[in-house]
């Protein structure tokens, strides 16, 4: 899974990236700090089932902290997008290509209204205007790719299959291409679309294959009223107010053992010896978190994964009685699966041979036998039973 962090320049994208990944991204208060894309690993958080099952888990492919299972996902932060980026303005459209493999996007806006489209300081700028600009640039970029190949596409009888080949690196599925064409009222047999048709299709495909959640950043500097307006317009689940600066400071403080903090938590605990200046700073952060129920950064990533991408967490085990693998590790793996995935698809994620020779699955809680086409549920603890080769 790859989550892309996008937005206009100087909105705090690299700060949020650094907070999520603790990677050393260059951060500065001026446009186009990011030149090359930053790649890193972040963690989505879900309550671990070990408390319910009464076992002490020993994670292998993930982490478990204070009862929260932290599962790795890949994150990419690209240069800021400005109006005309698809034509090469700003840092150009090469950075749009860096987003092509993303499964979902986090769009960072400056909810305090202190920076404009190009990342320059301003007073009272409307961050809501950025939302359409970034989406338009992405649509124009995708439309340009398709238009450049329209001659070859028009010769193919199955236009959807031809588009799937052309957009192989875009991570769009055949079903999404068909659905986008239907949404734009376009045929997919020997396609020969106009520029307007191609643009409509591109916008529809982006909505299906690159869902967006908005990180209304710099909320610690103001913008409560703007945040309320954005939530009313886009839906409460599509916008999260956040402070990347506070989240990054907290993670650095936790790394240095000055505090105990679990990403996504609404509180933290002082742990080390602190100066008066550090105590004042942490006091300010604590008050912000009390009002906003945390910093919002981890929540944004969680919503992208579990909301936009409809992921669930499943725990495969080999011993259904002790919930362990063959080494005796309890709940060693937690695996992200798309909602609606089957037990056999879980087996395939574990090993192709296991899926090929699978007989059935077992619900480790109830010991109930499950068919291969059983649809997994969030928090399932599953044993795959296969024929001995």
| Predicted local confidence at residue 274, as pLDDT | 86
Same domain, 33 and 156: yes
The pLDDT-based confidence of 101 (bands split at 50, 70, 90) is: confident
Q: Flag whether 7 is in a domain.
A: yes
**Of 210, 70, 187, nearest to 139 (Cα)?**
210
DSSP, collapsed to helix, strand or coil, labels residue 166 as helix
Instruction: Check whether residue 20 and residue 162 sit in a common domain.
Output: yes
| CATH at residue 340 | 3.10.20.30
Question: pLDDT at residue 96 above 70?
Answer: no
Per-residue pLDDT, averaged over 249-269, amounts to: 92
Any idea what the CATH number is for the domain that residue 23 is in?
1.10.8.470
Per the DSSP assignment, residues forming a β-bridge with 68 are: 47, 65
pLDDT at 365 over 80: yes
- Residue 295 pLDDT exceeds 50: yes
322 shares a domain with 190: no
Cα of first residue to Cα of last residue in the chain, in angstroms, is 32
Reported as a pLDDT band with limits 50, 70 and 90, residue 99 is confident
Please tell me whether residues 203 and 351 are part of one structural domain: no
User: CA 29 to CA 16: how far, in whole Å?
Assistant: 14
Residue at token pair 């919503």: 303
- 141 — pLDDT class (breaks 50, 70, 90): confident
Residue 269 lies in a domain: no
Residues 196 and 324 in one domain: no
Q: Report, as an integer, the average pLDDT of 289-300.
A: 96
Q: Does residue 95 carry a pLDDT above 90?
A: no
66 is a domain residue:
no
**Would you place residue 193 in the very low, low, confident or very high pLDDT band (cuts 50, 70, 90)?**
very high
Last residue of a domain, one of 220, 246, 278: 220
Whether residue 28 is predicted with pLDDT greater than 60 in this model: the reply is no
Phi-psi region of 247 (alpha: psi -120 to 50; beta: other; left: phi over 0): alpha
Q: Name the residue range of residue 166's domain.
A: 2-37+78-220
> How sure is the predictor about 117, in pLDDT bands with cuts at 50, 70 and 90?
confident
Residues 15 and 134 placed together within one structural domain of the fold: yes
Closest CA to 149 of 162, 168, 137, 135: 162
**What average pLDDT does the segment 144-172 reach?**
92
State the pLDDT confidence band at 321, using cuts at 50, 70 and 90.
very high
Check pLDDT > 80 for residue 302: yes
Query: Taking Cα atoms as reference points, which of 389, 194, 368 lies closest to residue 380?
Result: 368
List strands edge to edge, sheet with 381-386.
335-338, 311-317, 381-386, 358-363, 368-370
* 213, 342: one domain: no
Element containing residue 216 per DSSP (H, E): strand 212-217
Residue 346 domain-assigned?
yes
Q: Where does a domain end: 196, 220, 244?
A: 220
pLDDT at 389: 60
User: Considering the domain boundaries, does residue 360 fall inside one?
Assistant: yes
Tokens of 352: 């192709």
Q: How many domains does the chain have?
A: 2
Same domain, 160 and 25: yes
Cα distance between residue 7 and residue 237, in whole Å:
19
- Where does a domain end: 220, 250, 267? 220
Q: Are 91 and 80 in contact (CB under 8 A)?
A: yes
**Does residue 351 fall inside a structural domain?**
yes
Based on the domain organization, do 318 and 216 belong to the same domain?
Answer: no
Is residue 381 within 8 A of residue 331, CB to CB? The reply is: yes
Burial class (CB in 10 A: 0-12, 13-18, 19+), 224: middle
Structure tokens at 263: 């990403």
Per-chain mean pLDDT for the chain: 90
Q: Is 56 inside any structural domain?
A: no
Mean pLDDT to the nearest integer, 194-223: 95
DSSP conformation class of 266: S
Q: How confident is the model at residue 13 (pLDDT cuts 50, 70, 90)?
A: very high
pTM: 0.89
Q: Is 250 within a domain?
A: no
Least confident of 73-82, 239-248, 259-268, 339-348: 73-82
Contact 200, 184 (CB under 8 A): yes
Torsion of CA 306, 311, 315, 318, to 10 degrees: -170
Both 194 and 316 in one domain: the answer is no
Q: Are residues 201 and 324 in the same domain?
A: no
Res 168 pLDDT > 80: yes
Do residues 110 and 212 share a domain?
A: yes
């Amino acid at each position: 899974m790859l989550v892309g962090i996008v937005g206009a320049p100087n909105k705090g994208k690299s700060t949020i990236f650094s907070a999520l990944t603790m990677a050393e991204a260059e951060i500065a208060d001026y446009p186009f700090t990011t030149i090359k894309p930053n790649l890193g690993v972040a963690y989505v958080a879900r309550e671990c089932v070990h408390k319910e099952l009464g076992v002490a888990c020993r994670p292998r492919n993930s982490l478990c902290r204070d009862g929260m299972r932290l599962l790795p996902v890949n994150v990419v932060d690209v240069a800021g997008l400005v109006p005309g980026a698809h034509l090469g303005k700003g840092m150009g459209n090469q950075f749009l290509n860096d987003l092509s493999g993303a499964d979902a996007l986090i769009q960072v806006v400056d909810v305090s209204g202190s920076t404009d489209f190009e990342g320059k300081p301003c007073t009272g700028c409307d961050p809501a205007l950025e939302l359409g600009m970034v989406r338009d640039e992405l649509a124009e970029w995708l439309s340009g790719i398709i238009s450049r190949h329209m001659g070859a596409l028009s010769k193919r009888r199955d236009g959807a299959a031809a588009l799937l080949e052309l957009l192989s690196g875009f991570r769009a599925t055949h079903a999404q291409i068909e659905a986008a064409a239907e949404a734009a009222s376009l045929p997919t047999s020997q396609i020969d679309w106009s520029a307007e048709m191609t643009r409509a299709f591109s916008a529809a495909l982006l909505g299906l294959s690159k869902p967006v959640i908005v990180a209304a950043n710099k909320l610690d500097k103001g913008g409560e009223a703007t945040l309320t307006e954005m939530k009313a317009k886009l839906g409460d689940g599509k916008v999260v107010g956040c402070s990347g600066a506070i989240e990054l400071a907290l993670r650095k403080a936790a790394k240095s053992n000055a505090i105990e903090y679990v990403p996504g938590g609404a509180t933290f605990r002082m742990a080390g010896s602190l100066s008066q200046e550090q105590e004042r700073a942490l006091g300010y952060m604590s008050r912000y978190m009390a009002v906003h129920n945390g910093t919002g950064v981890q929540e944004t990533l969680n919503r992208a994964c579990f909301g936009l991408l409809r992921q669930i967490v499943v725990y495969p085990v080999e011993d259904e009685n002790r919930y362990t693998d063959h080494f005796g590790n309890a709940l060693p793996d937690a695996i992200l699966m798309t909602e609606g995935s089957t037990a056999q698809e879980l087996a395939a994620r574990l090993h192709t041979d296991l899926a090929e020779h699978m007989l059935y699955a077992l619900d480790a809680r109830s010991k109930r036998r499950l068919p291969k086409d059983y649809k997994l549920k969030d928090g399932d603890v599953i044993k795959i039973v296969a024929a001995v080769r």
